[in-house]
Amino acid sequence: MNSNLQNQYVSKLRAFSEILSIFIILISILFLMGWAFNIEILKTPGSDFSTIKSNTAFSFLLIGIIIWILQEKRVNSRNILIARILSLIILLIGSFTLFEYISGINLGIDQILFMEPHGAFQTGALNRMSLVAVSSFLLISISLLTIDKKEKGNFHIFQLLIILVGLVSFLIVLGYFYQTTIYPILNTTAPSLYGSVMLFIIFLAIIASRPDKGFMKILTSKGVAGVFARRIIPSIIIIPLILGWLRLLGEHMGLYDAEFGTAITIFFTILILAILVWLSIVSIDNIDVKRFQAEENIKRQAELINLTHDAIFVRNMDDEITFWNKGSEETYGWSQEEALGKVTHKLLHAEYPKPLDEIQEDVLNYGQWDGELIHKKRNGDIITVLSRWSLQKYENGKPLGFLEVNTDITKRKEAQNKFKELVDELRRSNYELQQFTFITSHDLQEPLRNIASFSQLLERRYKGKLDSSADEYIDFIVDGAMRMKEMIQGLLEYSLVGKGENFQPTDVNETIDIVLSNLKRLIDENEAEITHERLPTVTADSRQLVQIFQNLIGNAIKFKRPETQPKINISAHLDTKKKEYIFSVSDNGIGIEKQYSTQIFDIFKRLHTIDEYRGIGIGLAICKRIVERHGGKIWVKSEYGLGSTFYFTIPINHLNS
């Protein structure tokens, strides 16, 4: 993503990381003071909690110092060396402790700083840090050693490692939050509450220290991806956390049983995700509107480029003006009487791309020259002109002078700059769509898959065991989750139309064969009769051409009249005037009312309820985008109750047969 998409979030996150590093240092010192002066509250929040071990507190102190000196404003060779040394110390502490766990050999490092009395709560070996802390310190040390390694892609190694630390620490904190007892495993020390919270804070500090790298670059951008990520990721984390806590609270208070709690939690999760999906759809629609406006602006700028007037004048070999036309008067502001006899480069304060003598030498040798010059008008305005020089000769071939034709391209230059800005805007919009697709496919579909899977599991396990209302609610949840999954997949497919394959000669007859093969089961089940004439070869994206015909033929079968065999005909003819092929797909189905003939191409537009006809209403919208990508258009003619004919065009070019 371009740097101009970064915003104030970058500086704020860096400041946040620095504050957290100082906090980590101060809290670590308090932990060590708790051990030095035997202050229990500084070691554990209560007798029912395991203590934070002294080696753990010491490692936290080193980590806080490393994060502080690795803030980008402090990065230099000396600080990098110090950070690496401290990271290696943390790595050694974690490695030695892990060796103690694996081998059962006590190396004596656990109590090297402070002694812990016997009988410590949930402690496998006196003052020995938990396995969670050991593995976390190993990951953190490697993360800090690789934090400034140059990498490409959306995820850097240090981010992946520290995310693992964040997930594990967050899971443990959740256990404490939901009052779930965490027992030691295989006589190991249990993770402490203080230590788990500190690990999560360290995760935040490290991830925020490099807000312009990897996936953080997306999160801090001004684009759709950044806005979408900042909107949905906190919701995905916070909403289930709150709903889960409320669910457990209600169960403990006896307000409802576990099954009802699960159902209501899933329902509200779906509702919130549905709202977020809708907001994302609106964002995509706004991007499309902006793209259309940008394209219209480009067309208007192109019209300005053609509105130019040429200045034509002749000068002799001494560079004195001998002819000055009306276009020159309009361009520069001097009348013919004022300009005649003047030296050109002095009158116009000309700036040349190379020395004037060299340009004149080129004209004498080759007869002509062209390039861009900078001139000053009578009113002091600076303009850029496209200048074309031609050598004028006497009849005997000797040089007479120079004919100079200058076109004021100042507006053209401005238009080109605006054009470049608009192109950059289009590229940025496309990039934002790609990032939105990435976020949607990874961050939004996964929870939906979980919702759908667990809802179906709930349906299979408890269907018929609860009252009829609960069964109905479960059906609503399952159906809603599946429909939302279809909507997201359709939305992804819609957004990826612009990333199709290169155009190449495509035999439409072979395309129809592929479509009929794909729809064979649907055709056989409905006994549909499909015919087509000999179809042409066009230059197109073959995969997207299959999508168009598959959507149109599939719809023709789906929207058939009751008790009527579907009959579908595909044809094409050449419009020589407009230089395009016009394809048609006709059917004898239920038809479309005239007032809906344009609305049906809108995204998620449906004319029937879900009970009448399955689908999400995105197929024709995808067809429209594909056709427009090919430079054509799509429309429908229909008589309600008697069938419909869909038309679309594919322009001809030199590759068409």
Q: What is the pLDDT at residue 139?
A: 94
Query: What is the arithmetic mean of pLDDT over 182-203?
Result: 78
Lowest mean pLDDT among 52-56, 209-213, 397-401: 397-401
Q: What is the pLDDT at residue 202?
A: 94
DSSP 3-state of 502: coil
pLDDT in tens, 408-434: 888 888 888 888 888 888 777 777 766
Percent with pLDDT over 70 in the chain: 79
pLDDT in tens, 174-185: 878 776 655 445
Q: Which residues of 458-474 are buried (b: 16+ CB within 10 A; e: fewer)?
A: beeeeeeebeeebeebb
Give yes or no for residue 66 having a pLDDT over 90. Answer: yes
For 245, other C-beta atoms within 10 Å of its C-beta total 13
pLDDT in tens, 273-292: 788 778 777 776 776 666 56
Q: What is the pLDDT at residue 445?
A: 64
Q: What is the pLDDT at residue 3?
A: 39
Give yes or no for residue 655 having a pLDDT over 60. Answer: no
pLDDT in tens, 457-509: 776 776 666 666 766 776 667 666 666 665 666 666 666 666 666 788 889 99
CATH superfamily of 500-651: Histidine kinase-like ATPase, C-terminal domain (3.30.565.10)
Give yes or no for residue 150 having a pLDDT over 90. Answer: no
What is the DSSP code (8-state) at residue 409?
-
pLDDT in tens, 214-259: 778 777 776 666 767 777 777 777 777 777 778 777 777 878 777 7
Query: What is the arithmetic mean of pLDDT over 616-622?
Result: 74
Q: What's the predicted TM-score (pTM) here?
A: 0.44
* Best CA proximity match to 203, nearest among 169, 231, 235: 169
Give yes or no for residue 619 having a pLDDT over 80. Answer: no
| Residues in CB range of 288: below 8 A, 6 or more apart | none
Q: Which sequence spans correspond to the domains of the chain?
A: 1-116+127-222, 227-307, 308-408, 500-651
Q: What is the pLDDT at residue 159?
A: 86
Locus of tokens 């997930």: 167
300/476: higher pLDDT = 476
Locate 323 and state its tokens.
Answer: 């002819």
Q: What is the pLDDT at residue 609?
A: 47
Task: Please state which architecture CATH assigns to domain 308-408.
Answer: 2-Layer Sandwich (3.30)
Instruction: For CA atoms 475, 479, 482, 485, give the dihedral sign.
Output: negative
29/483: higher pLDDT = 29
Query: What is the arithmetic mean of pLDDT over 3-12?
Result: 62
Using an 8 Å Cβ cutoff, are 201 and 170 in contact? no
Using an 8 Å Cβ cutoff, are 572 and 647 in contact? no
Using an 8 Å Cβ cutoff, are 141 and 97 in contact? no
Query: What is the arithmetic mean of pLDDT over 574-599?
Result: 83
Give yes or no for residue 200 having a pLDDT over 90. Answer: yes
Where are the extended beta strands (E) located within 188-283?
A: none
For 172, other C-beta atoms within 10 Å of its C-beta total 23
Give yes or no for residue 382 having a pLDDT over 70. Answer: yes
Q: Any bridge partners for residue 530, and if so which?
A: 568
Where are the extended beta strands (E) located within 283-420?
A: 310-316, 321-324, 368-376, 382-393, 399-408
